[in-house]
Structure 1
Amino acid sequence: MDDTEQVSTEYSAAAQARWVDEPDKRPGRTAFQRDRARVLHSAALRRLAGTTQVVAPAAGDFPRTRLTHSLECAQIGRELGAALGCDPDLMETACLSHDIGHPPFGHTGEEALDLAARSCGGFEGNAQSLRILTRLEPKRFSAGTGGRSVGLNLTRAALDAATKYPWTRGSHPELPRKYGVYPEDQAVFDWLREDAPASRDRFERCFEAQVMDWSDDVAYSVHDVEDGLHAGHVAPAALRAPGERADLFAVARRYAPTAEQDELAEALDRLQAEEWWPRSYDASARARAALKDTTSQLIGRFCTAAEQATRERYGPKPLTRYAADLIVPRSVRTECAVLKAVAVRYVMQRDDQAQLRTWQRAVIGELAEVLLGSAPVGLDPVFQALYLEAADDAGRLRAVVDQIATLTDASAEARHRMLVIRR
């Protein structure tokens, strides 16, 4: 590491090392401050402003997008991580980066791209995030990697903290569809995981990644319910009806598979018993202020519970890297699961959303077919170069998939109109 870069005393030199050594143009900053700045100024992060979180960005005047979700996740993660001893800039970098690889149309686009990419190893938004951070977002190039881009060239600790699923496709016994690295990015993945102790399970994430993951869960579970209430899709009174609750708990089992219906019911009852839980919502100024208070109360409840339980286990010392695991009480995870189910049941499972998702899958699939048939024509210069440099059909398909994954919802629709509908 260059001696002009300040060192965070709670993190080793190895944790602050970069894939390619480089000097700092502005001496006095820490390595993690540089990481945060690089992600914050990246085109890949800006693109998330036009990418679906739950509903399409154009569905209203102020829906949450992947970008606003990432910013909210970063605020939660920065504060929770700092309270536990993590470097706050490192935590913010991880949270800003965690969804940076998600394609157009949210999880629907992810599923469609995975199908289109089956002959080159599939597609996963988290693996794509690592690929963007270490290869696709042009910031640094290195002679040591054949002259190719090394992406933002973040520190080892930042890349590790941003890796939610530190394993390859199909290798995890319980999460075979989730993974964080493609085979062609194995070298940098091995490098970023060098600090993981041999005594720990090879699937275990570093402490900062665990904090990032919980911050992500807190942000989207709470905010998706807030958006659903404001849009009129969630009626507070319906959450007390027996039939509605049974349907809701069936969805919640996806997120809390070992929880029985009684446990899920108790979790919802605890939330509904709180003074700040909304009993009704009419979108008035007072109702909107009360809903914002509900959001704040839920975030504080979930983060405080995790902080206190973790401190009870490990004491007051700073907790970083592989020295601890984040402890989230089961009761709190169950409450979070119920909130996720509310968003799924009343927002994502609406009939109009099902029809929209069918159309979005067709857009991605048809766009992939046409671009692959015409490539390198139709690809942006960055992806044209990747296509032409590829050694085989799998590599060429990966370049096409990379191109589609970097589009916003609107630009994917526009290219589909131009290349598919008008041809």
Structure 2
Amino acid sequence: MAAPYACDPGDSRGRQYPEALSTFRSAFQRDRDRIIHSSAFRRLKHKTQVFVEHEGDYYRTRLTHTIEVAQVARTLAGALGLNEELAEAVALAHDLGHPPFGHTGEDALEALMAPYGGFDHNAQALRIVTRLERHYADFDGLNLTWETLEGIAKHNGPVHPPYSYAMAEVNDAYDLELGTHASAEAQVAAIADDVAYNHHDLHDGLRAGLFTEADLMELPVTGPAFAEVDALHPGLDPMRRRHEALRRIFGVMVEDVIAVARNRLEGLRPSCAQDIREMDGPIIRFSKPLFQNLKAIKGFLFTRMYRAPSVVVERQRVTGVVNDLFPLFLRDPSLLPEEWQRDVAQATDETALARVVLDYVAGMTDRFALQEHARLIG
């Protein structure tokens, strides 16, 4: 049974372009399905998390990460009586706006777009689902519900001015109440993102040989997890030992979030979804002790993985790719594909043209960006 503070698809604030109701699917189910069938979602298959997409078949891509986030979001939403379809839709859309090469590509585009209204991947995701997906006869974008758009915009918390141009543009059309918190479902999607990447970055870092299980024995949460496995299964095969420990770490995070949320919901007693939005802090979060422990793990990962020498070298290389491509297209937009020339023709000044170039470059996959760089620049 749904909790009173869950978002009800029957009470949705609706879509920008009214549509007939589906016979079999709720409004949030339709949002989820449209996101899965979008071109931007398919491109996540060849966009990186930490490692560039071609470096190994076992490392996470944006797509596998997104699927893991959606799974955790559904688990959390179900345990808390929230709407699982809305939580899943926001989770599936949360990384649509990421450019090629992960946070490295995002950093490069932020710098390049600074004179033209900025770049933010959440705002870019909104631009994709409201403008850049062009498949339907009656509208640009996916025509998602207000609740899903709100979740994409502010699942990480309220958004305060100054807004990037893309965020301002979407908010002008939909009034997403950016100064408030998002629904509990969107907050679930946000913390599911934390759970997923804390887990899989440990896994990918181990597989890449950037650190060892012995290193993790020295950290909170990870050390006790490996110790528990060793006590229960002495002499276990190393790969099974790794998996058993990592799944315990996963479980610790999920169970902590559920326990904290249940306790806060019981104490605050929100009577509707809007009560969640108007609270002075997020309702879905880690306990303070676990948050501090995860902070220590993130600090370890920052040093040993995100800034590992081999990763830094690759970051420099792919930053160069983005820094070459963006100004090249800005100087000569005729190099953009034919289907982008309509947008080029409608650009009234350099800022508008830069935004068209951004939409194109941000939509590239890792492999396509590398191929285009080799073709155009060598």
What TM-score, normalized to structure 2? Answer: 0.87
Q: Which amino acid aligns with 2:240?
A: A
Decide whether the 8 Å contact of 1:368 with 1:401 is kept in 2: yes
- Structure-1 residue corresponding to 2:14: 17
Decide whether the 8 Å contact of 1:167 with 1:180 is kept in 2: no
Count of paired positions: 361
Say yes or no: does 1:161 pair with 2:151: yes
Instruction: Give unpaired runs (5+ residues) of structure 1.
Output: 1-8, 143-148, 172-178, 197-201, 242-267
Say yes or no: does 1:38 pair with 2:22: no
Q: Residue 314 of structure 1: CA displacement?
A: 1.8
Identity of aligned residues (%): 32
Q: How does 1:325-364 map to 2 (within 5 A)?
A: 325-364=283-322
Q: Residue 391 of structure 1: CA displacement?
A: 2.7
Decide whether the 8 Å contact of 2:130 with 2:142 is kept in 1: yes
Q: Residue 230 of structure 1: CA displacement?
A: 2.2
Give distance in 2, aligned partners of 1:319 and 1:41. Answer: 35
SS in 2 for 1:37: helix
Q: Residue 158 of structure 1: CA displacement?
A: 1.2
Q: Provide closer, same or farther for how the CA distance between residues 101 and 169 of structure 1 changes in structure 2, counting only shifts above 3 A.
A: farther
Decide whether the 8 Å contact of 2:9 with 2:27 is kept in 1: no
Give distance in 2, aligned partners of 1:182 and 1:120. Answer: 13
- Structure-2 residue corresponding to 1:260: none
Instruction: Give unpaired runs (5+ residues) of structure 2.
Output: 1-5, 277-282
Which of 336, 346, 351 in structure 2 is aligned with 1:379?
336
Give distance in 2, aligned partners of 1:20 and 1:348. Answer: 43
Q: How does 1:155-304 map to 2 (within 5 A)?
A: 155-163=145-153, 164-165=155-156, 166-167=158-159, 170=162, 181-190=166-175, 192-193=176-177, 202-239=179-216, 268-274=219-225, 286-304=237-255
Q: Which amino acid aligns with 1:150?
A: D
Q: Which amino acid aligns with 1:19?
A: Q
SS in 2 for 1:204: coil
- Structure-1 residue corresponding to 2:279: none
Decide whether the 8 Å contact of 1:17 with 1:156 is kept in 2: yes
Give distance in 1, aligned partners of 2:223 and 2:272. Answer: 35
Give distance in 1, aligned partners of 2:7 and 2:189. Answer: 18
Q: Residue 49 of structure 1: CA displacement?
A: 0.8
- Structure-2 residue corresponding to 1:258: none
Q: Residue 60 of structure 1: CA displacement?
A: 1.2
Task: Name the Cα RMSD after superposition.
Answer: 2.7
Q: Which has the higher contact order (CA 8 A, sep 6+)?
A: 2
Give distance in 1, aligned partners of 2:24 and 2:109. Answer: 42
Q: How does 1:10-89 map to 2 (within 5 A)?
A: 10-11=7-8, 13=10, 15=12, 17-24=14-21, 27-89=23-85
Which of 289, 299, 310 in structure 1 is aligned with 2:261?
310
Give distance in 2, aligned partners of 1:64 and 1:216. Answer: 13
> Would you tell me which structure has more helix in proportion to its own residues?
2
- Structure-2 residue corresponding to 1:323: 275
Q: Residue 404 of structure 1: CA displacement?
A: 0.2
Question: For residues 139-165 of structure 1, what are the alpha-carbon distances to aligned partners after superposition, in whole Å with 9 as ceiling and x for unaligned?
Answer: 4465xxxxxx53111111111122235
Question: For residues 247-304 of structure 1, what are the alpha-carbon distances to aligned partners after superposition, in whole Å with 9 as ceiling and x for unaligned?
Answer: xxxxxxxxxxxxxxxxxxxxx345413455677xxxx993222322223222221121
What TM-score, normalized to structure 1? Answer: 0.78
SS in 2 for 1:22: coil
